[in-house]
Structure 1
Amino acid sequence: MALATSRRPAPDPVAVLRAHRAAVNVLAFHTPSGALLSGDADGELKIWDLVKHRPVFSSRVHTPSAGVLGIGVSSALNNKIISQGRDGTVKCWQLTESSLSRQPILSVKSESYHFCKLAVARRCTTNDESHEDTRGAAGQILMAIAGNDTSKVEIWDITSGQRVQLLSPKDSSVGMCMSLHMIFQSGEGDQCTVVAGYEDGSMLMWDTRHPAAPLLQSKQHKEPVLSLVLDGPGLGGISGSADGQLTLFSFNSTEKVYTPKKKFEGQAGIGDIALRGDDKIFATSGWDHRVSIYDYRRRKPLAFLKYHKEIVNGVAFSEDKKWLASGSKDSTVALWSLYPPSEGTSKSVE
């Protein structure tokens, strides 16, 4: 379905999933099982059958006071998933036959109450490659979270359950870490690039081989950076802030240069950003109740999806590129079909 705001109206959701009794905070597609995962403000995590459009499993994985803030999935985790509460608790669960293990197989507890979703490292990709290998050269599955000191970033090896690094800004004036993304650099062994968005609008980048100080620091936003994502090759990405500003950027880690490419000004905060696996389109979740769709390569808006009646907290694309899911404070999850691969080439996004 080619979407163009000037030529045709935006589509309605293909399906609306209704089972949550609280705000839906976060979404993730679990590729091995073909299921959708959703987490809400009461601490409930649901596993959805995308054929029957109904939950096949539900469990309170975090306390109602903490809620589910983040969900981590990756090909290296396979049938394990990670849940994160706002109280700093991170748990790793075994997923078997559309249900979770009764107890977490790993728990990480920090003493900080924060708003930063975890990030599981993935490997750089080019063109239409899938993110098949998300382990480091030493077999590590790495996760980044905001630390006990919320201006710092902790790197954990999920396999061993050990913290392996602590990344600190040059000074604490940047405030709390609000958003994270983490990527293994191709051909660089266990080198990871970690990008963090901060409360004062700054973006910081580290090369984990040299963790003592950030590689880059740039302030492109006036308000807290609530969401960010890097593209497949790990050479650029998108950041969104509380005042609705969306920034598309590139960076050169060798030359230590950050370059903003395009900025979109808005009136409502951007809570989440999802970039589809082929790096052609991305979606943002807005405090204005809308899901906004953009052409990543041409850096232009394509459509604004209007269904939710409250703030949209999370968005996620399926790895097969067929589905976009959005989750809202109105307790619903909407499924959308946008430029599915079966439609072939669309001039709007190629």
Structure 2
Amino acid sequence: MSRPSPSPIYTLRGAGGPLNTLHFSCQGEGTPLLFSGSGKGAIHIWNLNSRRAEKIIEAHSGNSVIWVSTLQSADALISQGRDMQVCWWDVSEGRSELVESVRTGSVGYCQCSLVEMSPANYLLAYAGEQTEEIKIIELPSKTAVCTLVPEEKLGMVMCLQLWQPDSGSGPLLLAGYENGSLLLWDVTQRSKLSQVKAHPEPVMCLTFDTTSLRGVSGSSEKTLSSWRLDGQSNLQLQDCVTLVNPGVSQLCIRMDRKLLASAGWDHRIRVFGWKKLRPLAVLQYHTDMVLSVAFSDHRDPRQRVLAAGSKDQRISLWSVYNEGTDTG
């Protein structure tokens, strides 16, 4: 049975637009930071100690920022905008300098995915100019690695997750498509390993636990679809989770793999135990669609928080299940 909804521990205001994306950087010795990207083209760097914006970068020519991430430390920032550009920023020592940019050609809302292959060497996956196309490049060299296009018509690429398996084999990529399909790609072989129809509607978001090889995806309907990878790299559908209201913008698993959070079109954040997808809490604060959710990466579990960004231009921060509570 779900607990009564708590209140946010604090909120961040002043983003000036819908909050499409959130990213924490709290592991280093420096100030814990939260990066946000808004629908008005602004990237805010929030100081979590002072609870104020430390810096605002006017990015992407005022076009909506749909994804932000950092490289190793918080000194290098990557952002993606609806201007079809991925930008690399130097934000060290108070700077906000544009270092490099890559043109994606994609007019959609599919967020990039980034994985570190070796120190100072990354792979970046993004939706390409053609409808079903996924491009993967190396950073910082911007060298093209491959282009992945399915043989059948699946519609637009909606969401991506790139990762490097512990087995030492090449990187793998999960992609959700407009027709509701999920595809698993072998990046090195440039080949499709598995495919399932996870939803009747477009796959709006997905997240994958690379340790347990389990994942979950959401769409415009009232269900979350869970699935797993078996030993032969086949995607297998598991149980569905029924939601009260339709529509999920984003999903996020906490780094200890105990909690899953969902951003709902019904203005609510839902928290589930990741092991069994048991509903634990419904967090109510926002007055419009919740567009983004992220768990902080503090090394101390007691300091970890959940952040949610909304179309109402506010970010709420929550302390949930940090004291070893049974999350199921």
Pick the TM interval, shorter chain. over 0.9
* Aligned-partner Cα distance in 1 for 2:280–2:112: 29
Rate the CA distance shift 1:328–1:305 in 2: closer, same or farther, 3 A.
same
* Aligned-partner Cα distance in 2 for 1:111–1:135: 25
Asked if residue 147 in structure 1 is aligned to residue 128 in structure 2, the reply is yes
Q: Please, which moves more after superposition, 16-25 or 307-316?
A: 16-25
Aligned counterpart, 2:92: 96
Asked if residue 108 in structure 1 is aligned to residue 102 in structure 2, the reply is yes
- What is the letter of the counterpart of residue 12 of structure 1? S
* Aligned-partner Cα distance in 2 for 1:15–1:210: 47
Aligned counterpart, 1:205: 184
Q: How far 1:295 sits from its partner (Å)?
A: 0.5
Instruction: Find the partner of 1:277 among 255, 280, 286.
Output: 255
Structure 2: unaligned runs, 5 residues or longer:
none
Aligned counterpart, 2:140: 159
Rate the CA distance shift 1:78–1:187 in 2: closer, same or farther, 3 A.
farther
**Partner secondary structure for residue 286 of structure 2:** coil
Structure 1: unaligned runs, 5 residues or longer:
122-133
Report if the CA contact (8 A) 1:170-1:214 is conserved.
no
* Aligned-partner Cα distance in 2 for 1:15–1:139: 35
* Aligned-partner Cα distance in 2 for 1:248–1:40: 29
- What is the letter of the counterpart of residue 227 of structure 2? F
Report if the CA contact (8 A) 1:194-1:208 is conserved.
yes
Q: How does 1:232-271 map to 2 (within 5 A)?
A: 232-233=210-211, 235-252=213-230, 254-266=231-243, 267-271=245-249
Instruction: Find the partner of 2:49 among 29, 48, 51.
Output: 51
Aligned counterpart, 1:323: 305
TM-score (norm 2): 0.93
Q: How does 1:55-66 map to 2 (within 5 A)?
A: 55-64=53-62, 66=63
Aligned counterpart, 1:135: 117
Report if the CA contact (8 A) 1:324-1:335 is conserved.
yes
Aligned counterpart, 2:67: 70
How many percent of aligned residue pairs carry the same amino acid? Answer: 32
Q: How far 1:74 sits from its partner (Å)?
A: 4.4
Q: How far 1:145 sits from its partner (Å)?
A: 0.5
CA displacement 1:98-128 (0-9 Å, x = unmatched): x4433x211001222111011112xxxxxxx
Report if the CA contact (8 A) 1:232-1:277 is conserved.
no
Rate the CA distance shift 1:330–1:117 in 2: closer, same or farther, 3 A.
same
Report if the CA contact (8 A) 1:114-1:150 is conserved.
no
Report if the CA contact (8 A) 2:163-2:210 is conserved.
no
TM-score (norm 1): 0.87
Asked if residue 18 in structure 1 is aligned to residue 13 in structure 2, the reply is yes
* Aligned-partner Cα distance in 2 for 1:23–1:60: 15
CA RMSD, aligned part only? Answer: 1.7
Q: Which has the higher strand share?
A: 2
